[in-house]
Structure 1
Amino acid sequence: MISAIKTTDVLSDVSVFTGGKWREHSDIHIVGGIVTDIVPAAVRGSETRHVIPGFVNAHTHLQQSLMRGMAENTGLLEWLQLIGTETVRITPERAYLATVSAALELLRSGTTTVVEHMWPSPSSEVHQAVVRGLRDTGIRAVLGRGIADRADASRRWGFEPALLSPIDDVLDHVTELIELTAGSTISLALAVPNPRSISVQGLAATREYADSHDIPVMIHLLETSVDDVMCREHVGKGAVEFLDTAGFLWPRLLAVHCVELDGPGQELLSERGVAVAYNPVCNMRMGSGVAPVPAMLERGMNVGLGVDGAASNDTQDMFQAFRIGSYLQRVAHKRADIMGFAEMVDIACGGANGNLGLPTVKGGVTIGAPADLTVVRFDRDYATLPVRDAGAMILTAGSAAIVDSVLVDGEVVFRDGRSTRVDEDALTKELAGLDV
């Protein structure tokens, strides 16, 4: 399924978004997978290509690419029960296919890094299959190994019992995964389902391990009011207060969703250096609401952009999340002058990178950062022509159709709408033949 690796050392005569503006007729130099310089083009031609940093999908569940359309038109708790039951069925073979198909969909839409929030699973073979799928596609990944210790089949206060393992076993497994992925474009993290699924002791063990191994942690937080209601019922505190008193708010934490995060909660997360993953399409599909992103940004919080899993979004299309992430805030605030291209690029290409241990990307393509780049050609889609403003066109009309090529670590992993590594025809045949 895997073909030869193809690398490049220069992108010649392109318009590159860098330093918060477009620089026309430029050459981007790449050495050892790093952007080393952006200089005037040595040779000018009929320039048609535009380059932006690759999107960083700050939150998804790759295995849910085999669960598209499930539990549609249901509330969060019912949805969680149904998806939990389906997740128990995951085999290594299905996990591999799900990972590859979701990663290719992300790459096709200009995404170079995926932050994967795996649900807890006792199967080391499933995790190995996910690692293999990520490696085979060439996408960069922060792989969050699921961790929880409250069993509750209802999912109201806890997690699907069949998916849980003792905390010590989970942490030993994370150590094995760190060794397995050493030297690759995959780094490890810990992924807590939500504040309801883990005890104070579990939080302490998770934080201690993360600190000692210098890895990030992610947790779903206040996607709806359920976290607050359940935490108050069981521990007499709201979700944010519960996490804070447990010492679980710090700069290596990524809080996912935060739709119901109020002003005091925003202030506290800001003080603690917590980043947020904004998932606009999922929040719309699930009827959760609109995350207060402008207020978070005004408080200096780091905010990244995610698509969430395909069971609550149904696509892994970052262009869709990029556009809707902007438009949703505009309609919520009744303002058209917010969340423009430059601000959305900072959010979508590096907003949460610092918390995740990824290199800083600010203002577009950044010298010294990995050559994780998306090359766009507007003439691939008449719906983006003529081009008056390249940034506005990418935000308002861009789609996977305009992606010419995608580089990860300097390697061309996607070109002309197809993977350079994976036999997509064979993959499609396997997916079509799955028993659902």
Structure 2
Amino acid sequence: MTTAPKNMTDAIIRDVTLYSGGQWLTGRDVVVSNGVVESIEKSTGTATPGSVDGSGAYLIPGFVNTHTHLQQSLMRGIAEGTPLLEWLLAVAEESVQITPERAYTATVAASLEALRSGTTTLVEHMWPHPSSEVHDAVIRALHDTGIRAVLGRGTADRADKTRKWGFDPRLMQPLGDVLAHTDQMMRDVAGSRIDVAVAVPNPRSLTPDGMSEVREFAQARDLTVSIHLLETQTDNTMCTEHAGMNAVDYLDSHGFLWDRVLAVHCVELDDRGQKVLAERGVGVSYNPVSNMRLGSGIAPVPSFLDAGIAVGLGVDGAASNDTQDMLETLRTGAYVQRAARGRADLFGFEAMIDIASGGANAALGLPARSGGISVGDPADLTMIRFERDFGCLPVRDPGASILTTGSRQIVDTVLVAGEVVLRDGHSTRVDEAELIRTLSAL
């Protein structure tokens, strides 16, 4: 399915308009060396062999999708219109049956879909699964597409087939084995574009002893821990019933909130919970399309930001979002907050591009990024050509056009670590025709 990987990390993007320092700069050459933006210079207008022609194009930072489930690209439309717990049980049945071959195909498909909407980094939250072969297939697929990834190894130690107070026992294994395998995964991806993390389904899935063991493991290795938190009130209801306290207090009382924790969703996070997360340095992944699709509600993102919580943007898995389209999520994430507060002056392009390209990077162990492209940044870049979709024309303001009319069609070229992994909207690494045949045959 893949062609030979390319290792080029040096490039020059010629005569492009780029977003940098919170403004659009025209006629610039962006020089990349060793996978990093080395300089931004006034364009000489001279093309050189191997350079990327940026004339008439717009360059923005690549998006960081702070939350997805890659295997769900084969589960689109599953249990549509059902409550969250019922939906989770349906997804679990598919997850039990996943094979390494299907995991590989799903990961390639989801990663290419993400790249096509300008995403250069995926934060993958794997569900717990006992098969090392499934994990190996996901790693191989990420390598083959060239995307950057923070790969969360699913982790749980409380079994409950109803998923109200625990996780599906068919997908679990002893916690010591899970953490040993996480160490093995770290060795397997060393030196690549993949970082390993720990992925906890929700506060109900770890016992107090499990929280302590996972925390010590992650902190000793400086790993991110991603955890679904308060997507609905179920976390609060179950934690109160079984532990006598709400979900945030349950986690905090066991020391499970620190600055490398990424809390996903937080739709029902109240003012007190926001204060606790801010004090502990916890980041939040905002998943607006998924939250609407499943009827979970609207995360109070303005309140998060006012409280000092770092917020990143997430697409979530294709079983609850249906696509991996960050441009759609960028627009929806802004619009739903405006609608909820009756204000059109919230979350313009400048605010949303910062959230989408670096809002939660500290929790993920990624370099800080704000205001667009800067010298010293990783060369994870997306080049936009509005003429690829006439529905985006004419362009009055490129930022406004990206936010309000941007579609996957306008993504022309994507670089990860300076390597062109998408050119003219197509992968430079993957045989897309073969991928389509494989997907169509499933």
Alignment match, 1:424: 432
The residue type equivalent to 1:59 in the other structure is H
| In 2, Cα distance between equivalents of 1:2 and 1:152 | 40
Indicate the SS of the match to 1:187.
strand
Kindly provide the CA deviation profile for residues 361-396 of structure 1, in whole angstroms up to 9, marking residues without a partner as x.
Answer: 111112211100000011111111111000000000
Summarize the alignment of residues 196-345 of structure 1 with structure 2, pairs less than 5 Å apart.
196-345=204-353
Alignment match, 2:414: 406
Indicate the SS of the match to 2:336.
helix
CA positional deviation for 1:86: 1.1
The residue type equivalent to 2:423 in the other structure is R
Alignment match, 2:166: 158
Contact preservation (8 Å) 1:282, 1:313: yes
CA positional deviation for 1:278: 0.2
| In 1, Cα distance between equivalents of 2:30 and 2:131 | 43
Alignment match, 1:36: 38
The residue type equivalent to 1:40 in the other structure is K
Kindly provide the CA deviation profile for residues 155-177 of structure 1, in whole angstroms up to 9, marking residues without a partner as x.
Answer: 11111110001110000000000
Indicate the SS of the match to 2:85.
helix
CA positional deviation for 1:85: 1.3
Summarize the alignment of residues 68-79 of structure 1 with structure 2, pairs less than 5 Å apart.
68-79=76-87
Indicate the SS of the match to 1:364.
coil
CA positional deviation for 1:277: 0.2
Structure 1 residue 133 corresponds to structure 2 residue 137: no
| In 2, Cα distance between equivalents of 1:46 and 1:162 | 51
Indicate the SS of the match to 1:251.
coil
- Normalising by structure 1, we get a TM-score of 0.98
Contact preservation (8 Å) 1:61, 1:309: yes
Alignment match, 2:14: 12
Indicate the SS of the match to 2:298.
coil
Contact preservation (8 Å) 2:121, 2:147: yes
Summarize the alignment of residues 17-96 of structure 1 with structure 2, pairs less than 5 Å apart.
17-43=19-45, 47-96=55-104
Structure 2: state its 5+ residue gaps.
Answer: 47-52
CA positional deviation for 1:56: 0.4
| In 2, Cα distance between equivalents of 1:134 and 1:413 | 12
Contact preservation (8 Å) 1:6, 1:412: no
Aligned length: 434
CA positional deviation for 1:46: 9.4
Contact preservation (8 Å) 1:281, 1:324: yes
Alignment match, 2:2: 2
| In 1, Cα distance between equivalents of 2:295 and 2:20 | 36
Alignment match, 2:50: none
Alignment match, 1:382: 390
Indicate the SS of the match to 2:195.
strand
Alignment match, 1:396: 404
Structure 1: state its 5+ residue gaps.
Answer: none
Contact preservation (8 Å) 2:11, 2:419: no
Alignment match, 2:49: none
| In 2, Cα distance between equivalents of 1:380 and 1:67 | 29
Alignment match, 2:118: 110
CA positional deviation for 1:35: 0.5
CA positional deviation for 1:6: 6.7
Kindly provide the CA deviation profile for residues 13-38 of structure 1, in whole angstroms up to 9, marking residues without a partner as x.
Answer: 11110111111111111000000111
| In 1, Cα distance between equivalents of 2:14 and 2:3 | 25
Identity of aligned residues (%): 59
Structure 1 consecutive aligned stretches of length 4 or more whose deviation exceeds 3 Å: 44-47
Indicate the SS of the match to 2:173.
coil
Contact preservation (8 Å) 2:13, 2:54: no
